[in-house]
């Protein structure tokens, strides 16, 4: 499998290592020319969603990636990656640098960024993922999914809120599966 890891900011090295451990052929997506390679899955890493969104637009990656996601390319998104996919970012007015074109807005959920506050900003827990118990889950300044369309499948839950979801070609996590 050919995995393209968006590598403009954030935890892309960890994401690449995760897919290499799983035997995938991994390449970094840093500029438009990288999209000429064969790609079976797009991996969106954690990081700072406002910065990633701005860089996507500035580097000319936003439109071609959006077209491919709309066209059914499989996407594996973590944390900031999930925020970039969400239809609605509740506190978007707080990201002054964000423009409407800065996130893909294709996943029918609403998210609240940095939802766990300062004290619980980053934490680990163990939960059930896709019916499998005992899965370690690392949250790092994670968003919460506050509204979710009934068509979206919930794969894990924390504090009564969905923390991993699957919808069509997209699997997205508020926690970091690639770190455990
Ligand atoms: N807090 C970050 C944001 O709002 C996401 C953190 C992460 O990706 N681990 O973009």
User: pTM value?
Assistant: 0.94
Which residues lie across from 175 on neighbouring strands?
A: none
Span from the CA of 176 to the centroid of ligand 1 (angstroms): 11
Q: Helix (H, G, I), strand (E, B), or coil: what is residue 2?
A: strand
93 pLDDT more than 60 = no
Task: Give the pocket of ligand 1 (CB within 6 Å).
Answer: 46-49, 79-80, 83, 113-114, 140-141
Ligand 1 centre distance from Cα of residue 157 (Å): 18
Helix 49-58 vs helix 62-70: crossing angle, to nearest 10: 100
Q: Which of the residue ranges 12-21, 79-88, 116-125 would you say has the lowest mean pLDDT? A: 116-125
Q: Which of 45, 141, 176, 178 to mutate to test the pocket of ligand 1 (most atoms within 8 A of CB)?
A: 141
Residue whose Cα lies nearest atom 2 of ligand 1: it is 48
- State residue 117's pLDDT score: 77
Whether 92 has a pLDDT exceeding 70, the answer reads no
74 in active site: no
pLDDT of residue 25: 98
User: Where does the pLDDT of residue 121 fall: very low under 50, low under 70, confident under 90, or very high at 90 and above?
Assistant: confident
Catalytic residue among 48, 67, 74, 79: 79
Domains and CATH numbers, the chain: 2-179 (3.40.50.880)
- For residue 178, indicate whether it is catalytic: yes
Look over the chain and give the mean of its residue pLDDT values, rounded to a whole number.
93
Question: With 70 as the cut, is the pLDDT of residue 140 above it?
Answer: yes
Looking from the CA of residue 52, the nearest atom of ligand 1 is 10
Q: Calculate how far, in angstroms, residue 150's C-alpha sits from the geometric centre of ligand 1.
A: 25
What is the C-alpha separation between 58 and 113, in angstroms, rounded? 22
- Is residue 2 very low, low, confident or very high in pLDDT (cuts 50, 70, 90)? very high
Q: Is 87 a catalytic residue?
A: no
Q: pLDDT, tens digit, for every residue of 16-25?
A: 999 999 999 9
Please give the distance, rounded to the nearest whole angstrom, from the Cα atom of residue 114 to the centre of ligand 1. Answer: 7
CB 131 within 8 A of CB 94: no
Cα distance between residue 136 and residue 180, in whole Å:
6
Query: How does pLDDT run across 52-81, given as a tens digit for each residue?
Result: 999 999 999 999 999 999 999 999 999 999
Angle at 87 between CA 112 and CA 9, to 5 degrees: 70
Residue nearest to atom 5 of ligand 1 (CA): 80
């Amino acid at each position: 499998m050919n995995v393209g890891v968006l590598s403009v900011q954030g935890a892309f090295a960890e994401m690449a290592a995760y897919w290499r451990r799983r035997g995938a052929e991994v390449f970094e997506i840093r500029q438009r020319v990288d999209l000429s390679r064969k790609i079976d899955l797009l991996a969106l890493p954690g990081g700072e969603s406002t910065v990633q969104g701005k860089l996507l637009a500035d580097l000319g990656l936003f439109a071609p990636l959006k077209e491919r996601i709309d066209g059914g390319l499989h996407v594996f998104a973590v944390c900031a990656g999930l925020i970039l996919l969400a239809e609605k970012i509740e506190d978007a007015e707080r990201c002054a640098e964000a423009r409407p074109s800065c996130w893909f807005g294709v996943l029918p959920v609403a998210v609240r960024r940095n939802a766990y506050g300062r004290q619980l900003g980053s934490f680990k827990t163990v939960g059930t993922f896709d019916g499998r118990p005992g899965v370690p889950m690392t949250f790092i300044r994670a968003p919460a999914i506050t509204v979710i369309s009934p068509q979206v499948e919930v794969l894990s839950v924390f504090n009564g809120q969905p923390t991993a979801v699957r919808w069509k070609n997209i699997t997205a996590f508020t926690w970091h599966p690639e770190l455990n």
